[in-house]
Amino acid sequence: MMLRGSIVALVTPFRDGAVDERAFAELVEWHIQEGTHGFVPVGTTGESPTLSHAEHERVIDLCIEVVGGRRPVIAGTGSNSTEEAISLTRHAKRAGADAVLLVTPYYNKPTQEGLYAHFKAIHDAVDIPMIIYNIPGRSVVDLAPETLARLAELPNIIGVKDATGDIVRPLVTAQLCGEQFVQLSGEDANTLAFLAHGGHGCISVTANVAPRLCAELHEAWQRGDAGGALAIHRRLLPLHRALFAETSPAPVKYALARLGKCAEALRLPLVPVKAETRRLVDEALRFAGLLDG
C-alpha cells in the first residue's frame, strides 16, 4: 500500500439534513477518474464532529464500497475519547479500510505522556496501519517530534499528517522516525515545500475541488519536474488561501456547489460563507481554470 501523492480529505455532502449518499458516491467516482491517489472519509473536512456514529460508519463503508480497492482509503477514526476512537477504528478495520487517521485529542489537552498513552491504547486494541494527525490549531495540543518518535516504534503506527505549518518539522521527523515513516502534509499551501523537505504527499482540502491539478502536482514532483510542480502550485495558491478564508469546510462546500458537485449544506455550528469569501473562492476557481469567466 503506497500512501503518497494527493489524498483527498473528503467533504460529507448533506441534503435535507441527512448524508447525501448519492452525491458522496459520485464525488468519489469523479476523484478516481481525475487521478486522486487516495481518500480520507470523515476527517475534519468531512464534518466528523457532527456526524452520528451510525453516519460516521456509513460514510466509511460507502467510501470503501465505491473505491472498490482502486485506491487506498484512510478512514478518519480519531476522537478525544480513547474508547470512542478504538470503537471507530475497529469498525474501519472490519469495513476493510487500508489505514486509519487518528487526530490528537482535542479539548482534553493531554500531556505528551497522555498523547502517547492514547495512541498506544488504540494501537494495542486494533491491528491496522495508523496515521497520526497532528493539528494544534484545532486540537490545542502539539504532538512533539520526540513523542512521535516513541510512537513510530510501534509496528502499526506508520506515519503522520502534519498540519503544524512548521516547514522544518518534516526534516526533524525524518531524522527521528526514519525515512520510511510516511509524512503527509495537512497544509495545502505548504505542499511543495513539505515534499522538498522529504514529505510523501498531502491530505488535501483543495483536492476536493481541483483533484486533477493536485494529482498532477505530485506526479510532476515524483518524476523530478520541480518546475512543473511549482507552476501548478502557483496556479492553486489562491484556492489554497480562499478555501481557508473562513472555517473549513464551509468555503470548500461553497466551491463544490459552484462546480455542481454537491449542495452547500453544512451542519451547525458551521454556517455558509459570507459574500466576501464567495467572491474570493470564485476568483480563485477562475484563476485555477476551474470556473468559466
Q: Residue 176 domain-assigned?
A: yes
Cα separations in angstroms, 264 against 24, 89, 219, 277: 13, 29, 30, 14
Q: Residue 153 domain-assigned?
A: yes
Q: Residue 37 domain-assigned?
A: yes
Q: What is the pLDDT of residue 2?
A: 81
Q: Within 10 A of 108 (CB to CB), how many other CB atoms are there?
A: 15
Burial of 224 (0-12, 13-18, 19+ CB in 10 A): exposed
Distance separating alpha carbons of residues 255 and 11, to the nearest angstrom:
11
Q: Residue 216 domain-assigned?
A: yes
- The count of structural domains within the chain is 1
Q: What is the pLDDT of residue 13?
A: 98
**What's the domain range around 88?**
5-223
* Contact between 249 and 257 (Cβ < 8 Å): no
Q: Residue 185 domain-assigned?
A: yes
Q: Which residue has the cell 478512514?
A: 75
What is the block-wise mean pLDDT of the chain (293 residues), using blocks of 10 residues?
Answer: 93 97 98 98 96 98 98 98 98 98 97 98 98 96 98 98 97 97 98 98 98 98 98 98 98 98 97 98 98 88
Q: Residue 70 domain-assigned?
A: yes
Q: Residue 129 domain-assigned?
A: yes
Active-site amino acid positions: 133, 161
Q: Residue 81 domain-assigned?
A: yes
CATH classification of the domain holding 157: 3.20.20.70
Q: Evaluate if pTM is beyond 0.95.
A: yes
